[in-house]
């Protein structure tokens, strides 16, 4: 898989020159990043809104950023629930396999009603803007509080000059956006209060206008929102020197008009690219301060293309986004055995993709529709629009179906939402490596005086996991452990391998991103007090009579063999005469270990059978895989609590640390939790990736179970985050509850070729 990713990335370095014969200088290639790996995450949740005390179950779809095919590079995703003030409610690490993973967030009972942001990212994604993380605003309702106002306030207007800035003496197109506004009309006035432009916009508060700004003039806009609210705002300042960009689709061509003030260049350079990849280089000849270049619309890749204009010094001077409608998602038809069913009855669904032989994986959720508002999120919209723009979009479907109106709306969206200043590749340092095997645990080590502990070799282990981890601190005392197999909460034991007598202090550096530039949006609550009361009562009844059902608690991943593989010698104590002390055990039949004693107490010599030499240093002593340095404490151990002793009489390399030999004492299961005190070990609590608990579907089979008097008020009837779609088909079954009303089946997924899968179906539960 990594080899295929490498050659795919290598292929993206081949940037073809397109345009006139006079191409820009070859150093324009430095403005692209041909070896960049881009990732995208999308979270499909089991419901669109939640009450406090519930769990948000989600499926992560993990794809590459260009072809949208399921990816398998990063192994950990970080998922957070953020309050409006930027503080985190919950933070979890989720294990990623090929194409994604599954997890959940528990909502505290004391959360306030309001809008919260669910966001997710990988460690590699932290090298880029926080706006490119997955973000989704959710409404969480505390039934013990009154509902807030349902209509978010109208936001101040934002202005977006095409190309990036207002340029004097040139007709400029300026986009504007007033969030949460209805119909908009208005005028532009200069300092003399003269009207220089008039405009209007549709129901989403998004529009544009044309006007020619003058030098040494300031302009303001007066908006009339829904013919009743007046908003006044100042336009961006006018610049007297620079480049203005105008991009339009004419027939089947993308026409790029470039205006320069004052005129001075013979040519400018244009780069068409998708996040600096799939780049096409064009040259614009400038005559009398303007020029135009054309590019076939059919040759543009689907999705968002960025147009960046460079001057002859290869500095970006203007930018614009255009959108080409991508292929539609693959529709999944959902066919039930009945569209109207009774309480506690079996529902069988047949799922069939609209294209034969479709392979992929889907998440399926079934919940009551009239208890909470319907879902607005879309995997297809996120991959092609929201993930590229770094923002949530209201009703994204109106931009994604090919038509003249959708193209016009998408053009306004690109103008008012997608503009961003181009950054040089050198402005994007790679500070966070991808977690290709598992989580990277970053920490800071100091000595007793608080000074950085530089150049220290650290050895870490987790009891019972059969693995050790090694690291060397840098000049600032920072260290990294790669922990591919640690799940759930636990404790890591750290040891200073250079000098066990030197005391160290260490603390973890949070793996979660602290940037909070993209906050939750205000969302509309449409839940009536009657519906809220019913849902709250049902929630309490479920908690009282039907505690959350889950399958057996998952257990952390454990290695079948310890990190050193098979030992050269292994002694099971039950196969020998049991001796009363550990000293006698080692002296009598553990041939590979020679016990010696001095003023400090016991120490071991290991026999290297290959070289027939004794190793008196750099030997690793373990108890249940936990390193210890105090042999005296081991000798006080009760031999009846020991199951076997493994001896490795060869060198073993663990990263920067070399062990001459290894002795591992494995206790019986009854004594496995015994702890041997060791002052050289530093205990540090560590949270591994989340142990996901699957839903245990409630069934009413045999028939007699239907007549149980225990109430069943589930509003969530089914949740399966990992349903495979084979040859375009799948079948699922579940049982209804005592709750009546309208229910919705939501299907979302991704094919192996990178196409989104989507489907919905409605049915009714009656008495």
Q: How far is Cα 32 from Cα 281, in angstroms, rounded to an integer? A: 10
Element (H, E) at 440: strand 439-446
Q: How far is Cα 39 from Cα 56, in angstroms, rounded to an integer? A: 23
pLDDT of residue 717: 93
CATH match for 39-149 among 3.40.50.1980, 2.60.40.1930, 3.40.50.300, 3.30.70.270:
2.60.40.1930
- Range of lowest pLDDT (362-371, 520-529, 640-649, 745-754): 520-529
Element (H, E) at 3: helix 2-11
Element (H, E) at 746: strand 741-751
State both tokens at 701.
């089979």
Q: How far is CA 500 from CA 108, 456, 745, in A?
A: 43, 11, 59
- The pLDDT of 52-72, averaged and rounded, is 93
For residue range 270-312, what is the model confidence (pLDDT) as tens digits?
Answer: 989 886 667 888 999 999 889 999 999 999 999 999 999 998 8
pLDDT band per the 50, 70, 90 thresholds, residue 465: low
CB atoms closer than 10 angstroms to residue 451? 9
pLDDT band per the 50, 70, 90 thresholds, residue 554: low
556 versus 730: the higher-pLDDT residue is: 730
Q: How far is Cα 342 from Cα 203, in angstroms, rounded to an integer? A: 42
For residue range 496-506, what is the model confidence (pLDDT) as tens digits?
Answer: 888 877 888 99
Look at domain 569-682 and name its CATH class: mainly beta
Q: How far is CA 746 from CA 176, 339, 516, 608, 735, in A?
A: 35, 15, 31, 63, 16
Domains 169-239 and 330-380+694-766 are alike in CATH topology: yes
pLDDT of residue 312: 85
- The pLDDT of 631-645, averaged and rounded, is 88
Q: How far is Cα 57 from Cα 48, in angstroms, rounded to an integer? A: 11
Mean pLDDT of the chain: 84
Position 695 pLDDT exceeds 60: yes
Q: How far is CA 685 from CA 492, 576, 624, 671, 676, in A?
A: 6, 38, 18, 22, 18
CATH match for 169-239 among 3.20.20.140, 3.30.230.10, 2.60.40.2550, 3.10.180.10:
2.60.40.2550
pLDDT of residue 420: 66
- The pLDDT of 94-99, averaged and rounded, is 93
Domain layout of the chain by residue ranges? 39-149, 169-239, 330-380+694-766, 569-682
Contact 641, 615 (CB under 8 A): no
- The pLDDT of 750-756, averaged and rounded, is 94
Q: How far is Cα 181 from Cα 230, in angstroms, rounded to an integer? A: 11
Bridge partners of 620, per DSSP, are 662
pLDDT of residue 16: 35
**Three-state secondary structure call for residue 406:** helix
Contact 102, 60 (CB under 8 A): yes
Rounded-to-10 torsion of CA 398, 403, 405, 409 = 50
DSSP symbol at 634: H
pLDDT of residue 629: 80
- Range of lowest pLDDT (161-175, 212-226, 362-376, 479-493): 362-376
pLDDT of residue 406: 83
pLDDT of residue 236: 92
pLDDT above 70 covers a percentage of the chain that reads 87
- The pLDDT of 740-748, averaged and rounded, is 94
pLDDT band per the 50, 70, 90 thresholds, residue 524: low
Q: How far is Cα 381 from Cα 42, in angstroms, rounded to an integer? A: 10
Distance from the Cα of residue 348 to its chain's centroid: 33
State both tokens at 756.
């989104």
Looking at 64-113, list the stretches that DSSP marks H as alpha helix, in order from N- to C-terminal side.
none
- Range of lowest pLDDT (16-20, 507-511, 673-677, 706-710): 16-20
pLDDT of residue 23: 43
Element (H, E) at 507: strand 505-508
Position 444 pLDDT exceeds 60: yes
Strands 489-496 and 505-508: unpaired
Asked whether the bond before 416 is cis by omega within 30 degrees of 0, the reply is no
pLDDT of residue 758: 95
CB atoms closer than 10 angstroms to residue 339? 10
Q: How far is Cα 376 from Cα 405, in angstroms, rounded to an integer? A: 21
Position 43 pLDDT exceeds 70: yes
Asked whether the bond before 121 is cis by omega within 30 degrees of 0, the reply is no
- The pLDDT of 323-346, averaged and rounded, is 92
Q: How far is Cα 243 from Cα 509, in angstroms, rounded to an integer? A: 45
Q: Which residues contact 270 (CB under 8 A, 6 or more apart)?
A: 19, 256, 258, 281, 282, 283, 284, 293, 307, 308, 309, 310
Place of tokens 């409608």: 325
Q: Architecture of 330-380+694-766 per CATH?
A: Sandwich (2.60)
Position 36 pLDDT exceeds 90: no
Q: Which residues contact 67 (CB under 8 A, 6 or more apart)?
A: 754
Place of tokens 């419901």: 47
């Amino acid at each position: 898989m990594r080899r295929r990713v490498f050659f795919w990335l290598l292929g993206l370095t081949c940037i073809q020159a397109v345009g006139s014969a006079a191409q820009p200088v070859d150093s324009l290639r430095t403005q692209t990043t041909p070896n960049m790996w881009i990732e995208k995450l999308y979270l499909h949740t089991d419901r669109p809104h939640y009450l406090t005390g519930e769990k948000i179950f989600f499926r992560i779809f993990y794809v590459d950023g260009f072809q949208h095919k399921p990816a398998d590079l990063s192994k950990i995703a970080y998922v957070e629930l953020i309050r409006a003030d930027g503080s985190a409610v919950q933070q979890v690490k989720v294990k990623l396999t090929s194409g994604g993973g599954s997890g959940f967030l528990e909502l505290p009972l004391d959360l306030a009603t309001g809008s919260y942001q669910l966001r997710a990212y990988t460690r590699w994604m932290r090298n880029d803007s926080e706006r490119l993380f997955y973000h989704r605003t959710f409404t969480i309702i505390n039934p013990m509080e009154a509902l807030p106002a349902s209509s978010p306030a109208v936001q101040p207007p934002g202005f977006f000059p095409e190309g990036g800035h207002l340029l004097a003496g040139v007709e400029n197109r300026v986009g504007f956006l007033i969030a949460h506004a209805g119909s908009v009309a208005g005028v532009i006035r200069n300092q003399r209060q003269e009207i220089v432009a008039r405009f209007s916009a549709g129901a989403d508060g998004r529009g544009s206008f044309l006007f020619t700004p003058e030098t040494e003039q300031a302009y303001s806009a007066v908006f009339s929102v829904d013919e009743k609210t007046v908003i006044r705002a100042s336009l961006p300042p006018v610049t007297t020197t620079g480049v203005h960009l105008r991009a339009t689709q004419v027939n089947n061509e993308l026409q790029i008009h470039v205006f320069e003030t004052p005129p001075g260049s013979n040519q400018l350079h244009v780069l068409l690219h998708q996040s600096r990849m799939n780049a096409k280089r064009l040259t614009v000849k400038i005559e009398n301060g303007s020029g135009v270049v054309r590019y076939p619309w059919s040759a543009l890749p689907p999705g968002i293309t960025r147009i960046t204009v460079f001057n002859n010094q290869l500095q970006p001077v203007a930018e614009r986004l255009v959108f080409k409608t991508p292929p539609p998602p693959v529709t999944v038809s959902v066919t039930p055995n009945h569209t109207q069913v009774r309480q506690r009855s079996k529902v069988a669904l047949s799922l069939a993709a609209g294209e034969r032989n479709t392979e992929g994986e889907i998440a399926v959720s079934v919940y009551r529709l009239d208890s909470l508002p319907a879902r607005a999120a879309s995997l297809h919209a996120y991959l092609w629009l929201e993930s590229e723009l770094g923002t949530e979009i209201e009703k994204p479907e109106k931009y994604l179906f090919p038509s003249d109106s959708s193209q016009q709306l998408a053009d306004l969206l690109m103008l008012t939402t997608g503009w961003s200043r181009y950054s040089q590749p050198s402005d994007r340092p790679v500070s966070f490596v991808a977690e290709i095997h598992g989580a990277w645990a970053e920490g800071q080590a100091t000595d007793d005086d608080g000074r950085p502990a530089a150049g220290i070799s650290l050895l870490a282990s987790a009891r019972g996991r059969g693995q050790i981890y090694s690291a060397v601190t840098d000049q600032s005392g920072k260290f990294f452990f790669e922990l591919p197999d640690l799940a759930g909460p636990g404790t890591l034991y750290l040891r200073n391998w250079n000098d066990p007598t030197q005391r160290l202090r260490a603390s973890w550096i949070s793996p979660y991103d602290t940037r909070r530039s993209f906050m939750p949006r205000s969302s509309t609550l449409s839940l009536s007090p009657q519906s809220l009361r019913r849902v709250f009562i049902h929630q309490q009844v479920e908690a009282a009579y039907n505690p959350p059902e889950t399958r057996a608690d998952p257990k952390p991943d454990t290695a079948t063999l310890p990190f050193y593989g098979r030992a050269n010698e292994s002694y099971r104590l039950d196969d020998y005469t049991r001796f009363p002390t550990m000293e006698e055990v080692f002296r009598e039949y553990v041939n590979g270990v020679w016990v010696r004693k001095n003023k400090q107490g016991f120490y071991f010599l290991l026999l290297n059978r290959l070289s027939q030499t004794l190793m008196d240093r750099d030997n690793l002593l373990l108890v249940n895989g936990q390193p210890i340095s105090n042999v005296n404490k081991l000798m006080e151990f009760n031999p009846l609590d020991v199951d076997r002793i493994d001896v490795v009489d060869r060198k073993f390399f663990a990263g920067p640390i070399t062990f001459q030999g290894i002795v591992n004492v494995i206790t019986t299961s009854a004594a496995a939790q015994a702890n041997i005190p060791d002052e050289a070990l530093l205990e540090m609590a560590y949270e591994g990736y989340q142990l996901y608990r699957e839903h245990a579907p409630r069934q009413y089979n045999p028939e007699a179970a239907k007549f149980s008097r225990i109430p069943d008020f589930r509003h969530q009837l089914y949740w399966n985050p990992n349903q495979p779609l084979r040859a375009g088909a799948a079948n699922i079954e579940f049982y209804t509850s005592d709750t009546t009303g309208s229910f919705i089946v939501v299907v979302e997924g991704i094919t192996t070729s990178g196409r989104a899968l989507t489907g919905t179906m409605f049915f009714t539960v009656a008495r």
